Amino acid sequence: MSYVVLAYTDLALASLLILISGGLSLGFRLGIERQLVLSAVRMCIQLGAIGFVLKFIFQQSSPFWTLGLALIMILLAGREVFARQTNVLTGFWTYGLGTSTMMFAATSVMLVALAGLIRPDPLYAPRYVLPLLGMLLGNTMNGISLGLDTLTRTAKRERLAIEARIALGQSRADALREPVRDALRTGSMPIVNAMAASGIVSLPGMMTGQILAGVEPVEAVKYQILIMFLIAGATGLGVLMAVLGTAWRLTDERHRLRLDRLRAV
């Protein structure tokens, strides 16, 4: 494998592009120059920090350090799911449901892939575990956020329709059929679109990265296809569990609609 190593002066030169954009903002009085520079600086610090963290963890190659970072990633993704909701369940479920379903879906699919398909040595090699988990979490998080937001919004908006079915003696599964279906569809849409568009409209980032690093394009494509399947599996599983779990919390054992268990944020 061969790739061109970047010098820090190369980065400094590229950062001039940010200054050009900032100049345009000043010239046209868009007022985004401050935000632009701040977010560019934030990106440098955040990526720099994670670069050193990953370097450290790769050197240790210890299951505990790997597990520790994986846990932090999962908790941050759980917080992100919460941050993207217009309504959240009350109590433990506010964070608990999104985070636990996401964790289960992403880690179980990752374990299957590591133990059964990729088989790195050792199995917990952080160079494989962490990027894989990151990609699975990012996509599952996206799907679950969209699915849950759709479900709770639809349940609120369609309260009259749902309660009409309940009042006629239908079960909670029947009464919530349409909202649940909408939520599952919305939550799966990003990965379905990503698969359909990849290679035509977009070259997936991971594959591009491998190609830049000198991997044979066909080998990079094989990896990308595997990743897409894993992402689709984890997203499908995570969205299904999170949406059904929330639908179950939105109703009770007497099959009543319980919108009082939702809180607007």
Interface ranges with other proteins (CB under 8 A): 158-171, 178, 252-257
Nearer Cβ to other proteins, position 127 or 181?
Answer: 181
Residues with Cβ within 8 Å of 48's Cβ and at least 6 positions away in sequence, in order, are none
Nearer Cβ to other proteins, position 161 or 206?
Answer: 161
* Cβ at position 164, least distance to other proteins in Å: 3
Task: Report helix, strand or coil for 88.
Answer: strand
Nearer Cβ to other proteins, position 79 or 255?
Answer: 255
Nearer Cβ to other proteins, position 55 or 159?
Answer: 159
Residue 243: C-alpha distances to residues 58, 144, 146, 184 (Å): 36, 8, 10, 7
Residue pair 243/89 in contact (Cβ under 8 Å)? The answer is no
Nearer Cβ to other proteins, position 144 or 162?
Answer: 162
* Cβ at position 90, least distance to other proteins in Å: 15
Residue pair 242/97 in contact (Cβ under 8 Å)? The answer is yes
* Cβ at position 256, least distance to other proteins in Å: 6
Nearer Cβ to other proteins, position 83 or 164?
Answer: 164
* Cβ at position 228, least distance to other proteins in Å: 35
As given in the structure block, the two tokens for residue 60 are 């240790």
Closest CA to 85 of 243, 257, 258, 254: 243
* Cβ at position 184, least distance to other proteins in Å: 17
Question: CB-based burial of residue 93 (10 Å sphere; 0-12 exposed, 13-18 middle, 19+ buried)?
Answer: middle
Task: State the Cα–Cα distance between residues 139 and 150, nearest whole angstrom.
Answer: 17
**Alpha helix stretches (DSSP H) within the chain:** 8-27, 33-60, 63-83, 93-112, 126-157, 159-167, 172-175, 177-197, 205-212, 217-249
* Cβ at position 168, least distance to other proteins in Å: 7
| Tokens 């599964």 belong to residue | 173
Q: Which helix (H) or strand (E) holds 1?
A: none
